[in-house]
Amino acid sequence: GHLVAQLVSSGPADPSPITVVFSPALPLGASTSVAVDRTPGDVHATVHGTLRDRLTLDVPYAGGWSIVPPAMPAQIGQRSRAPRVLSERLRDGQYVATLEGIAGRTYRFRVREPGKPWRETDVAFPAAGANADGYTTRTLTLGRQ
């Protein structure tokens, strides 16, 4: 995949150049040909450029783990009922995601493992032990078992 930033200057006819730093988050475990900052739960690739009229910054990458919760926009005047991804880690060759959802509910998350297409997986949240907002946590561990 690629993460691309396309920028266009729409200011004065002779604008001053602007130094741009593009540092998107990559999927955990992804590889790239550009400089990266890695922590156990975060990978950011960084490219630089100077914007005059137009600038395209490209971060190529391959592989990596990703998890995406279902899109559940909150209704006007209502609290969100959407699940959340609290953290992601790579631990001993396994992908570990800490998730939060409404107690007793099951949600369908999209997951991508390195070298595989996206798939869907159902995640059920415990009915007991909810916080003040009605959410409980669940840890999802994938990969080498």
The number of helices, as runs of H, and strands, as runs of E, in the chain is 0, 12
Q: Which residues sit opposite 43 in a β-bridge?
A: 38
List, for residues 63-106, the tens digit of each pLDDT value: 999 999 999 998 999 988 999 999 999 988 899 999 999 999 99
Q: What percent of the chain has pLDDT over 90?
A: 72
Above 70 in pLDDT, residue 113? yes
The upper half-sphere exposure of residue 72, i.e. CA atoms within 13 Å in the direction of its Cβ, equals 15
Q: How confident is the model at residue 39 (pLDDT cuts 50, 70, 90)?
A: confident
Give the C-alpha separation, 105 to 125, whole Å.
Answer: 6
84-91 β-sheet, strand order: 84-91, 94-102, 135-143
pLDDT, tens digit, 9 for 90 and up, residues 114-130: 989 999 999 999 999 99
